[in-house]
Amino acid sequence: MQGYKINYFAPRVNVQIVKLTGNLQNIATNSGSWPAGYDVWRYIYENEPQYEPQFKVDQTQAMQLWDKARQYLAAYNTRTGSHAKLWVVTSWPETSDAQIELTPWNWATAQQHTDLLTVEVQRWQETDAPRSIAAAQHVAESAGLWIAQASIAGQHTVSGALNLINSTSGFPGIKAYLVFYGNNYDGLQAFLQQIR
């Protein structure tokens, strides 16, 4: 994998090889045979069978799962001589919004259990934009550097994604935006044209 990075890209291009890890069971079962060279493991922490069947809303229980993923990552790095980082992608509605009246997640604490954090705040970017903006504001209040997710897939639109990005761009800690486009290639092209 490292040869691919060296042979196909200019020296100043920063290429990261990302392993889409699946859920914790997949990591436990398969990470012992993954080859050296991954820079990042992307772990989607969402309450769906294809993502994390062991999903917990409670932050303490969730962090235990994230820590197990980190243990497997550490073993992988030791075995392969790699320096991979853990990237957790999680959904605001499944974590904090479900618990907001009880105990919302503390995102600074969450960040102590991962190297890179993306929070999907886009759920209401068209239907109730202030709610998505409020979710991003809540994460920004406690998180350090994080990635906010917008979307142009499914029911989401280019204008909704742009509105969410423009409305949150001054929030502290947002390192980048991940724009999920699914198979909406026309939407991606329209989005890219508007941000040029």
Distance, in Å, from the CA atom of 73 to the CA atom of 82, rounded to the nearest integer, reads 10
77 and 143 together in one domain:
no
Encode pLDDT of 17-31 as tens digits.
999 998 999 999 999
83 and 126 part of one domain: no
82 and 11 part of one domain: yes
**Domain containing residue 173:** 121-196
104 is a domain residue:
no
Among 5-9, 37-41, 164-168, the least confident range:
5-9
The angle at the Cα of 150, spanning 149 to 152, to the nearest 5 degrees, equals 140
Summarised one tens digit per residue, pLDDT across range 93-110 is 887 766 555 567 889 999
Angle between helices 158-168 and 185-195 (to 10 degrees): 40
